[in-house]
Chains A and B, each alone.
Chain A
Amino acid sequence: MASISARRLSKELSEIRSEGCPVGINLVQADDFATWLFTIEVMGESLYQGEVHTLQFRFDTSYPISSPAVQFVVTDGKQAPVHPHVYSNGHICASILGNEWSPVLSVVAVCVTLQSMLASCKKKERPVDNDRYVRNAPDNPKKTRFHYDDDTV
């Protein structure tokens, strides 16, 4: 029997294929139910005008009970957006990917949230502890215990 995650993800995928993604978000790769790639772009006036970034989702078999591991791709010449909550290794400090994850959220909902996180950014800068974090960061950002201290950025 297909895993819970495969069933839920195949529903999400067929919805994306039939209705498309929200503006600025495009599905790049979803060949299996383990890793999906999207491009994400902030539409309209923002500090990220003209930038296209790639988001990677990794799912374990208990998605959506467990959150997906989401990060920006920083290989093959791709770069993470410069943002106070995005580390240069692509890891993202966002509460909905951690302690505020809910199983009623979806891949597209996460993309939209991250898109608006970029859109509302006032100043392009890396997190203050970027160098220290990147030096010791685990491969999977879900293993990091982020401290969510600032909802305004």
Chain B
Amino acid sequence: MKVNVKHWHAVAHWRWDTGSSEQDDPDGEEDVCGICRVPYEGCCPSCKVPGDDCPLIWGECTHVFHMHCLLKWIGTAASKQQCPMDRRTWVTAERKVGAAVAALA
């Protein structure tokens, strides 16, 4: 049998590498930003388009938020520059991009 492919549609799906494996989540529920309660792959309430223009931010405490949400909070005096989850002083973590690349190789 000979098959001629006339058309094909590629479908891609992206998500942020938050370090948690959502495939293991039995509910199939998406992780949400604790501040705005919108999924990480959505965008913060101030943005219209998800993706690189509305990135995530990681703290050294391992907590993750939409960057815009976290910066709004950190920008207030009330935040005392603390992580909303554990009230430790917020320190933005260096993302180990190299590790992800190495894992793919």
Contact = CB atoms under 8 A, between A and B. Distances in A.
B81 to A, nearest CB: 13
B76 A104 contact: no
B63 to A, nearest CB: 9
Interface size on A, as a range, is 10 to 19
Interface of B: 34-38, 45-46, 69, 72-73, 76, 78, 84-85, 87
B46 A103 contact: no
A64 to B, nearest CB: 7
Interface stretch (A3-11, A35-43, A143-151): A3-11
Most chain B CB within a 10 A radius of its CB, from A4, A64, A102 = A102
B61 to A, nearest CB: 13
Contacts of B35: 64-65, 103-104
Most chain B CB within a 10 A radius of its CB, from A8, A100, A102, A103 = A103
B37 A103 contact: no
Interface of A: 2-4, 7-8, 11-12, 62, 64-67, 99-104
A8 B45 contact: yes
10 contacts: A3-B45, A4-B45, A7-B38, A8-B36, A8-B37, A64-B35, A65-B72, A102-B85, A104-B34, A104-B84
A11 B35 CA distance: 12
Contacts of B34: 103-104
